[in-house]
């Protein structure tokens, strides 16, 4: 009998708020963090979901006194990481059997600009160690860097390593920030949308890049005082083996990831109450997802993409969206897939169009990304 693994606490830092409740309230009101921002000199502004730096600094200084932050100095992204983790670390003790898992795609990549040699801060393991040292983690940090599925995989990694007896519990944090590096890259792919993105819609024309950090606490031994708990029932991350940047036309990898995760969870399709999908709002990604969900027989399950609210937060998106979907379950409310108007995939999906009350017990969370990677996890509200 394998140990049961629970998520019992979470937090996030996004343009819609610096904790889960402010995010939830903004989502209920249909607010989006996406707006026009000038990111690259001499270029037109891009639609992106960006945290106000002044607000971030104010919040950081409010929570971290000068004694803690005068000596080292933290990058913008590091401040976001620290703010998202702090409330969890205060509530749950770190032991020498506690894992520290960090999910990111590009970390402090902004530090690379105009450099002739690599600054220490751009190494992802240095970034993770810096955050770990700040809070006094005792085990070696593990960085998951698997493109846009990293955040979902980070939850799976914590589950699997605790089940294998390597750790008792884990703090999982995920984050990426908006940078000229990433914006110029996606722009070179002509993948950036011309407005707030429209996942699954007929008129979708590309992604918005977003930024956020998110953190969860995962344990095999929840204590009696936890306000909530979600069991991590199953996971899988299967490659399409098709193309390094183009989504699969068959949805093979996503289909297999969902199938494996549900097999491990030992639940049937009709038990799933809600799908928190990836939905980047590119033509080919959303079409691929629709095919995979239909192949699984999941086309009637209520589904949303959070990209219209937060943009695509890369390494943070999977964890952030998992948190919002758990909050959705706790609040018994399904949140609409923002900006969806008209079906834009060749196969139908049950896309949520307005806030609606719902009993949510089983959640399926999926993600897909460059390199042909896909990931799925199944969560159960306890």
Partner 1 sequence: MRQLFWKNVKMKMMEKTDICTIQNSKIVLNNNIIFETPTENFSDFAKEAYKSLELNYPKFHKMDNLSKLAFLASEMILKDEDHSRTALVFANRSSSLDTDFKYQESINSQQNYFPSPAVFVYTLPNICVGEISIKHKMQTENAFFVLDEFDEQFLNDYAAQILRSGKADKVLCGWVELYQESYKAFVYLLTL
Nearest approach, Cβ of 18 to partner 1 (angstroms)? Answer: 27
Q: Which is nearer to partner 1, 67 or 241 (CB)?
A: 241
Q: Which is nearer to partner 1, 129 or 300 (CB)?
A: 129
Separation CA 161–CA 41 (nearest Å): 44
Interface with partner 1 (CB under 8 A)? 41-42, 105-107, 109, 112-115, 118, 122-126, 129, 140, 142-147, 153, 157, 160-161, 163-164, 166, 180-181, 184-189, 236-245, 252-253, 256, 260, 264, 370-373
- Residue 346 DSSP class: S
Handedness of CA 69, 75, 78, 80 (dihedral sign): positive
Q: Which is nearer to partner 1, 303 or 378 (CB)?
A: 378
How far is the CA of 190 from the CAs of 27, 30, 341, in angstroms? 28, 28, 23
Q: Which is nearer to partner 1, 160 or 333 (CB)?
A: 160
Tell me which residue of 269, 258, 101 sits closest to 172, measured CA to CA: 101
Separation CA 65–CA 86 (nearest Å): 13
Nearest approach, Cβ of 100 to partner 1 (angstroms)? Answer: 12
| Cα–chain center distance at 246 | 21
Nearest approach, Cβ of 150 to partner 1 (angstroms)? Answer: 9
What are φ and ψ of residue 144, in 5° steps? -95, 120
Nearest approach, Cβ of 147 to partner 1 (angstroms)? Answer: 5
Produce one character per residue of 102-116: b if its CB has 16 or more CB atoms within 10 Å, e if not: bbbbbbbbbbeeeee
Q: Which is nearer to partner 1, 237 or 352 (CB)?
A: 237
* Burial of 281 from C-beta contacts in 10 A (0-12 / 13-18 / 19+): buried
What distance, in Å, lies between the first and last C-alpha atoms of the chain?
19
Q: Which is nearer to partner 1, 220 or 239 (CB)?
A: 239
3-state secondary structure of 207: strand
Nearest approach, Cβ of 70 to partner 1 (angstroms)? Answer: 26
Nearest approach, Cβ of 180 to partner 1 (angstroms)? Answer: 7
How many CA atoms lie less than 13 Å away from 131 in the CB half-sphere? Answer: 36
Tokens 């937090």 -> residue: 11
Nearest approach, Cβ of 189 to partner 1 (angstroms)? Answer: 5
Q: Which is nearer to partner 1, 141 or 222 (CB)?
A: 141
């Amino acid at each position: 009998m394998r140990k049961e693994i629970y998520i019992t606490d979470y937090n996030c830092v996004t343009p819609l708020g610096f904790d889960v409740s402010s995010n939830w309230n903004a989502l209920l009101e249909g607010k989006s963090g996406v707006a026009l921002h000038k990111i690259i000199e001499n270029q037109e502004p891009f639609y992106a979901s960006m945290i106000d730096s002044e607000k971030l600094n104010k919040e950081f200084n409010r929570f971290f006194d000068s004694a803690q932050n005068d000596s080292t100095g933290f990058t913008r992204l590091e401040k976001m990481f620290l703010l998202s983790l702090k409330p969890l670390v205060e509530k749950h003790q770190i032991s020498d059997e506690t894992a520290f898992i960090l999910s990111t795609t590009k970390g402090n990549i902004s530090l690379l600009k105009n450099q002739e040699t690599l600054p220490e801060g751009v190494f992802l393991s240095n970034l993770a160690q810096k955050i770990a040292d700040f809070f006094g983690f005792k085990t070696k940090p593990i960085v998951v860097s698997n493109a846009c599925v990293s955040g979902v995989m980070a939850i799976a990694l914590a589950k699997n390593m605790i089940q294998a007896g390597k750790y008792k519990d884990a703090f999982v944090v995920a984050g990426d920030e908006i940078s000229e590096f990433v914006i110029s890259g996606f722009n070179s792919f002509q993948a950036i949308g011309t407005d707030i993105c429209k996942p699954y819609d007929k008129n979708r024309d590309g992604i918005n890049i977003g930024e956020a950090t998110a953190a969860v606490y995962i344990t095999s031994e929840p204590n009696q005082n936890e306000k909530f708990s979600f069991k991590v029932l199953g996971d899988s991350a299967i490659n399409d083996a098709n193309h390094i940047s183009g989504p699969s036309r068959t949805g093979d990898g996503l289909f297999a990831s969902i199938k494996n995760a549900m097999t491990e969870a030992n639940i049937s399709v009709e038990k799933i109450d809600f799908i928190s999908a990836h939905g980047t709002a590119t033509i080919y990604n959303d079409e691929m997802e629709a095919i995979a969900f239909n192949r699984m027989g999941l086309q009637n399950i209520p589904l949303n993409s959070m990209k219209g609210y937060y943009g695509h937060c890369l390494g943070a998106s999977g964890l952030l969206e998992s948190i919002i979907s758990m909050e959705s379950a706790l609040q018994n409310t399904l949140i609409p897939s923002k900006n969806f108007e008209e079906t834009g995939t060749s196969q139908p999906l049950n896309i949520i169009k307005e806030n609606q009350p719902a009993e949510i017990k089983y959640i399926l969370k999926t993600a897909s990304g460059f390199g042909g990677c896909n990931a799925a996890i199944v969560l159960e509200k306890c």
